[in-house]
Chains A and B, each alone.
Chain A
């Protein structure tokens, strides 16, 4: 069974930093592109970033470019999202997702709240 477990969310002040983690199990992590997707409270879904199997190719949505960085450690079956210069509009539940025919499996999400 595919499992994706996110962690690292919490309350952070504007301008602060946070690092999200996603631990994968139930599939060969190193064989798949992986994504981060977020959902602001009461709002829709927004794709944030993705990364290829060996980490050599990454893409980020324009609104987070220069502030967020996706990375992975295949030895640890883990995906990360380093978030710097956080803004109130980054408040959301952040999901990691396995890409199989685009977004196939999702974790339960971790809540990031940016507020003073």
Chain B
């Protein structure tokens, strides 16, 4: 199964954009790239997912490299509430719904 690589931690200033990178060089052609986040003391929360082209929603944007070996989650204006662990995830066992969470990137947001 394909794996992802993310930095352990990142820091951002409040109201500035944040770019969270993820490498997934062994991704298969049909795998969606999923992003979830986990705020302290809460269950994971869906952020965004995409296959090939860039995706936008109310929470974030997902920029996917043309070769699909990497992607970047973009938070356009970080708030203190965005401090969380962000997981870049590929599906497991050929089923798009089975998500294997890695260690993720712990994002700190400074006021």
Q: Do A and B bind each other?
A: no
